[in-house]
Amino acid sequence: MFKVLSGSWALLLGMMMLQVGNGMQGTLLGVRGALEGFSTFQMSIVMSSYFLGFLAGSRMAPEMIRRVGHVRVFAALGSLISAVLIMYPTIADPWAWAVGRVMIGFCFSGVYVTAESWLNNSATNETRGKSLSLYMIVQMIGIVSAQGIMVMADPAGYVLFVIPSVLVSLAFAPILLSVSPTPAFDTTKPLSLRQIMNISPLGCVGMFLTGGVFAAQFGMAAVYGAEVGLSVAQISSFVAAFYVGAVFVQYPLGWLSDRMDRRKLIAGVSVMTGIGALIGMVFGANFWMLLVAAFLVGGTSNPLYSLLIAYTNDFLEHDDMAAAAGGMVFINGLGAIAGPLLVGWMMGAMGPGGYFLYMAVLMFMLVGYAIYRMTQRAAPSVSETDSYTPVSFSSSPMAVEFAQDYAIETAQEAQTD
């Protein structure tokens, strides 16, 4: 672990600061939108726009890096993020915010591609697993820390918009001034979506549905909190509970994943997510039960991303795993774009309870499909499956390829032993 930190501390510190900025802007816009009188539907468009930009960025960033290099892409996108964050409070219009969110999503996707290729380049076979774990942990720490900063000033003012802008600007200093060499950049040509669907129908359907659930957590949690009348401090705690749950539950589920039929675990985890969502819907008037629901939903739904990738890998040749990464992230992104729009519609039609009902419906749909797929083919032997590796749902295809490399190396070492 010390070896990983000594070689990547600047990158990890910078990424944590970036996640503080990213985590703040999502929650802050949800709160500020309510203060400005924006409707739930308008806020759903604003929140969905981030994922549209993120998806576009994940496709275009590799070509940008090839043309002008890591450093220029990193610096340019970082400057744009900082500028957009400052502009939000000056143009209190939902359509202007939506455009800003598209730009923010695009830029963060490009930043992640750049940073993750740097991290992959600095890792060795011995440190790759720890690098992935640390990367995911600092991302979660950044998002959770952002919620604590929310109570430091009035969301109706400018200060809370200035803070993430400054943090994003500062985040690039340790990265760009570090001595780490610029890596060579190359990505694998992805498999087509049809090919991936034929290989793992459950993996594809699951990634689409979980994309919708992640978007509800990341984009609409603050909107829900404002709708039910939570204070800023309560909204911050509610949003943080999703990510605290993800940190605590990720690794126990990963351990189980390598020791049982992953389809059964996918179905079981989805049931728990659905139950957590129903708890939030029924007992949402009690703030403490709301935190329990958020912890359970976040803790069980977030690991599904890595679990579905690991399950899909079970049916791929090692050489095709990295190629499938881009397609899986793209499918997840499509679900994430649709997620806030559907949540906004349900909240408008049914009231705030539609927020949790939406997540419950998606997760029980995944349960049903996982059970159906169990009747269609036998599960691969546990001894023949690759290792589970934790990946954050906010990561780019580069991080997923990075995780695929680690899974392949771990499997090959196990076969050698």
Please, what are the averages of pLDDT over each run of 10 residues along the chain (417 residues)? 64 84 89 92 92 86 78 84 90 92 90 76 65 79 89 89 89 71 58 83 92 89 92 92 86 77 90 95 93 93 85 76 74 89 91 94 95 83 64 66 65 59
Return the pLDDT at 65: 78
Residue among 86, 88, 91, 97 at smallest CA distance from 42: 97
- Residue 229 gets the label, from left (phi > 0), alpha (psi -120 to 50) or beta, of left
What is this structure's pTM?
0.86
Tokens representing 413?
């070492």
User: For residue 221, what are the contacts with CB-CB under 8 A and spacing of at least 6?
Assistant: 27, 30, 235, 238, 239, 242, 294
DSSP 196-250: HHHH-HHHHHHHHHHHHHHHHHHHHHHHHHHHTT--HHHHHHHHHHHHHHHHHHH
The sign of the dihedral angle between the CA atoms of 243, 249, 254, 260 is negative
Rounded Cα distance, 292 and 276, in Å: 8
Return the half-sphere exposure (C-beta side, CA atoms, 13 A cut-off) of residue 290.
21
Residue type at 397 in one-letter notation: P
Residue type at 75 in one-letter notation: A
Taking CB atoms within 8 Å and a gap of at least 24, the contacts of 150-153 are: 150/24, 150/27, 150/28, 150/31, 150/232, 150/233, 150/235, 150/236, 151/232, 151/233, 151/236
Rounded Cα distance, 123 and 5, in Å: 11
Return the pLDDT at 139: 84
Per-residue burial over 108-118, b if 16 or more Cβ lie within 10 Å, else e, is bbbbbbbbbbb
Return the pLDDT at 345: 92
Rounded Cα distance, 275 and 201, in Å: 24
Return the pLDDT at 376: 82
Residue 182 is given by DSSP the state P
Residue among 164, 151, 134, 177 at smallest CA distance from 26: 164
Return the pLDDT at 356: 95
Domains belonging to the chain, first-starting first, are: 1-183 (1.20.1250.20), 191-416 (1.20.1250.20)
Rounded Cα distance, 114 and 76, in Å: 12
